[in-house]
Copies of this chain bind each other. A is one copy, B any other.
């Protein structure tokens, strides 16, 4: 099993990438890596090149680049060349910490779609209050428009993923909607509800409202990319705002409060840990011929390690092909 890695993406590249990859290489002896990036910079951090091959690249896609334009004009960038390796079957999966939009575009236009899936979906793992497994939500923004049939396909892929990678026997699949009753929503979501209800492959538990995303009531939440994007960013924004304000409340209210803050700090750090899903790896672009995974630009080497674990689980379980086969079978029936 070979993973093509864009070593230049992310805020701390290539250092955290190289460190995480080496740790993963030492852990799983049947994994090989193709590292795309600046050879000198990579070598600066690389301890040994067992099962790691560096492919020197000079171009780099930046976080500020316009995605589709970037992959068209920077054909020799580390990201695009890594994607091409997957397309040409020189590698089995694509991994990057770089520009999300550009990785989506690389996945769709270079790696390519599963024939039976209309649109790939982006699926991160979000924290929940009662389980370290978190909740997977898709689509959170690969698509601005959605049809009910897309949501059905995403539900099936999310369910297979939760079984294969998160080892959940019978994943609970919920539909993000504006109420819990089955007749809720706009026409897209009403129709999606009916499709999901009649999809035998999945354990559909009904609608979920976005105030319950973090509640742990579902294992996989299906949503159109526009609403999913809004809900995800609202969660991130609120968490950031509250934690920042909490810090101000503790640090800017005099020496006495500061002393109290020092006492409670270790316990409050647990709060931050609750919102840490780094062990779940990165966000998966589902619906492509091979696993394409995006880790956060600010990810550390530990997250890189766990993202490799996540890719390893997907390859070991042939997760992508299972979905493929299911959809082929469905289209025949």
User: CB within 8 Å of B: which residues of A?
Assistant: 129, 141, 144-145, 176, 178, 184-187, 189, 209-215, 223, 225-227, 229-246, 249-250, 253, 256-257, 259-264, 266-268, 270-271, 274
| Contacts A211-B240, A245-B274, A260-B263 given; does A144 touch B185 at CB 8 Å | yes
Contacts of A244 in B (CB 8 A): 129
Contact between chains at B186 and A144 (CB < 8 Å): yes
Contacts of A241 in B (CB 8 A): 129, 214-215
Contacts of A232 in B (CB 8 A): 234
Q: How far is the CB of A262 from chain B (nearest CB, A)?
A: 8
Contacts of A223 in B (CB 8 A): 230
Contact between chains at A271 and B249 (CB < 8 Å): yes
Contacts of A235 in B (CB 8 A): 234-235, 237-238
| Contacts A144-B186, A260-B263, A264-B257 given; does A245 touch B211 at CB 8 Å | no
**12 other A-B residue contacts (CB within 8 Å) besides A210-B230, A246-B246:** A129-B241, A144-B178, A144-B185, A144-B189, A178-B229, A185-B226, A186-B226, A211-B233, A213-B237, A214-B241, A235-B235, A238-B238
